[in-house]
Every structure is written in structure tokens, then in C-alpha cells.
Amino acid sequence: MLRGEEVREIQEMYRQGASIRAISEALHCDRKTVRRYLETPERVPTYGPRPPRGSKLDPFLPYLDRRLREGVWNAQVLLRELRQQGYTGGYTLVKDYLQPQRRAARAGAVRRFETPPGRQAQVDWGDLGHEEGPEGRLKLYAFVLTLGYSRAMFVDLAADQQLGTLLALHEAGFAALGGVPQEILYDRMKTVVLGVDERDEVRWHPVFRDFARYWGFTPRLCRAYRPQTKGKVESGVRYLRQSFLCGRTAASREDLRQQLRTWLTEVAFPRVHGTTHRVVREAWEEERPYLQPARQPPFPYAPELTRQVSRDAYVSYQGNRYSVPFALAGRTVTLRRVGGTLELWSDGARQACHALLEGKHQTRTVPEHHAPATLSIPERPGGKARLTLRVGDPEVEVRPLDAYERLAGGPV
């Protein structure tokens, strides 16, 4: 027979979402024993250690439970917060309350991990190595968005993991998968999370926070003691490497992207998933009605940078050059990245707009920017001004000789 403390721990772990199997493994007891005590709670022995009844912590348990759901597990931090609310008990009460919660989180999280349709997705980057091309050796990444219920995946390639790229790929994923989930789970990528404060509160990147509000989903951070929660997308990245990337060759990044789309359609979606034992496409069709519509225009993300226009009327951005009207040569302009385009602004007006180049060391020129009528190179700011004088034939006054004689005081 189990002790009363062990029985209460079984009940608490089950209440937190752990499965019978997980509880059995964590507490080293038979599954039948776990099930018996869950089905007949009156079997709890009346002897043995008991949790304190009517303890000083009881009024603060709802607050503690909420903070644990938010991912704050540090007992010292929680104790400090409770003190501010009037708690007069000791540290041991807080620590003892957290212990079964931690064990349940480590062993369980199964109920949360297997989410209902439309509830959750997960996002991560996969490092696919390098791309060899005319511009040299470039990094190659895979953006992976996986729906939690169906395991349907959206995958695309990228040369960087910058914020603008991340947002654009989210929107492409929403369109491809047919909607937006209620929440999306992330690892600690710097374009999403800036860190945590002294209260263990997540500090979200302000632009990403606004992006999430715009599309109506709640960002969640993969927490400590919840390693299972990232399993779907990490297994998706691994599946991508093993099933798609292994031994594959491509003539270009666009060729590889087209092969990736074919693989998603013909291999990834028709497969029977190893965990759910369902055809991914069928589960996705079942999940789609539960997703939020994704019919809005793209999120208006336009980070501003300043650049000095070169003497030949180009600006540099991410290793590539883009033309500017020649009248702006030598001046400072503002760059705004909007989706897949680069806008150049000066004096409150848009002066140029270019489709972004992939790779590096490339040039994009609009012929009208460098038309002959505009080739008037201004003086370099800060340079020395020079003045060139043109001297023609001098005009000489013709005078009679007697004028010179009078000046000289005698005959000439």
C-alpha cells in the first residue's frame, strides 16, 4: 500500500495533466496501482505524512498556480512575490508545494502536448548548411511551422533569420496552411524573445508582439521543465533533413524550393504520422475549419535604416547594391524593407522601390535613375569648393598720343 503522501502526489500529477504511464514511471509503481488510486480516491491512507491543513500558503495557491502556468518556477522569485502580497509563511512551504508540480511537468505534459485542432502550432529554424554559388558560400536555413493537431507542415528556405524574414515566412505559412492557430510555441530565438526580467516574465520583441496581436495569436515560450513541448517541430526539422534533404542536389535555391514544395505535396502530407497514426493530409483537413482566417494584408513591418548614396548613385543593403536617382548622389536616404521589396525615401517621398536580391555582391539598376539628363554630380559633402575663372581677350581703351604726352610732361 502506498503512503498517503504518494497517493496525493499521484492525484496532483494527474490533475496537472500527466498520463498514468508517466506517473507510474516517475513514482516507480505499477500502472494498475496508479489507476486504482485514481479511480477510488477514498483509498488514501489515513496515516503517514499529510500536507498542512489550513496553512498560510492556502490563500495564495490560485496565484501560485497561475504563475506556474506562466512559466515561473523559481521558488525564491515566487516567495518574493508572495511576500509583497502579504504572505507570512516560510520558504519551505513554497518549495514543498512546487515539488510535485515539477515532477508532473517533467513526467507529463502529454495532455498539453497533444493539442486540440486549431489550438497550437510550433515554429523553429533548421540549419541546412551552405549554398555554393556565384556570390560565394551562403548560409541556408529552413523555416518550419507545424500545426500541433494534424502535424501539417509549412517549410520554406531562407538565407537569414532576421525579423523581417521571420514575419514574412509566418504569413506565407498562414496562407499555405489555411489559417492562424490560437497560439504558437517558440524557442528562445532573439527575433522573438529579448529575455526575461527579474520576475521571470518573458520580454517579447516589441515588433513581434505587435505582429502576434495583428494576426490574433498568442506567442508561447518553450519553458523549463517542459522539454516535450518542442517535440513536434524538432521532429519535423529532423524529418525534413532525413526524408527531403539527404543526398539531394539542386541547380539553385529556387530549384531546391520547387523540389521542397513537391516533397511536401507528394511525401510529407500523404504520409501516416508515426505518433498520431493518421494521414497528415486527412488530419489537416479536419483541423483547417478551427484555424482563424488569414485574410488580412501583410503586417506593415518597415524597419528604417539610413544610407549614404554613393557618388555613382547606389546604396548598399545586405551586401547588394540598388540604384537611386542620380540627383540624390552624395545625400543620405532612408531604407524601408516592406515584404520582399526595398523602398528608398528622401524628403518625405519614396524615390525608388526595388525587389530584394537574394545572395550577395549583386546590383539592381533602374535605367531611368541614371538617364543622361540627370547626370549632374553634386559636390561631395564636406569637400573643398573650387572656382575656375575663364578669362577672355581684355578690352583696351584707345587713347590719342597727346594724352600720354601730357602725362609725361613733354613730347612722346
Domain of residue 241, CATH code = 3.30.420.10
Question: For residue 336, what is its C-alpha cell?
Answer: 524601408
CA angle 127/129/130 to nearest 5° reads 135
Q: Are residues 170 and 36 in the same domain?
A: no
Does residue 394 lie in a domain region?
no
Q: What is the mean pLDDT of residues 37-49?
A: 59
Q: Are residues 164 and 279 in the same domain?
A: yes
Q: How far apart are CA 184 and CA 211, in angstroms?
A: 12
Structural domain span for residue 27: 4-113
Q: Are residues 92 and 231 in the same domain?
A: no
Q: Are residues 147 and 286 in the same domain?
A: yes
Q: Are 249 and 238 in contact (CB under 8 A)?
A: no
Give the least confident one: 249-258, 282-291, 392-401: 392-401
Q: Which amino acid is at 243?
A: S
| Ranges 77-86, 196-205, 330-339, most confident | 77-86
Entry pTM: 0.53
Q: Are residues 160 and 215 in the same domain?
A: yes
Does residue 380 lie in a domain region?
no
Number of domains in the chain: 3
Domain end point (choices 71, 98, 113):
113
Q: Which amino acid is at 105?
A: A
Does residue 143 lie in a domain region?
yes
Q: Are residues 179 and 93 in the same domain?
A: no
Domain end point (choices 266, 290, 314):
290
Q: Are residues 266 and 196 in the same domain?
A: yes
Does residue 379 lie in a domain region?
no
Does residue 273 lie in a domain region?
yes
Q: Are residues 96 and 140 in the same domain?
A: no
Does residue 387 lie in a domain region?
no
Q: Are residues 76 and 166 in the same domain?
A: no
pLDDT exceeds cutoff 90 at 31: no
The whole-chain average pLDDT of the chain stands at: 81
For 378-405, how does the pLDDT look when each residue is reduced to its tens digit (9 = 90+)? 444 554 444 333 444 555 566 666 766 6
- Which band of pLDDT confidence, cut at 50, 70 and 90, is reported for residue 23? confident
**Secondary structure letter of residue 379 according to DSSP:** P
Residue that the C-alpha cell 547626370 belongs to: 375
Q: Alpha carbon 320 to chain centroid distance?
A: 24
Q: Are residues 163 and 23 in the same domain?
A: no
Residue 253 confidence (pLDDT): 85
| Ranges 112-116, 217-221, 283-287, most confident | 283-287
Q: Are residues 75 and 183 in the same domain?
A: no
Q: What is the mean pLDDT of residues 191-206?
A: 84
Question: For residue 79, what is its C-alpha cell?
Answer: 516567495
- Hey, which residues does 338 pair with through a beta bridge? 341
Our CA dihedral for 118, 122, 123, 129, rounded to 10 degrees, sits at -130
CA distances from 261 to 154, 165, 257, 273, 280 (A): 9, 19, 6, 19, 16
Residues counted in the chain: 412
Domain end point (choices 231, 258, 290):
290
- Which band of pLDDT confidence, cut at 50, 70 and 90, is reported for residue 77? confident
pLDDT exceeds cutoff 60 at 144: yes
Does residue 22 lie in a domain region?
yes
What whole-number percentage of the chain has pLDDT above 70? 78
Q: Are residues 248 and 309 in the same domain?
A: no
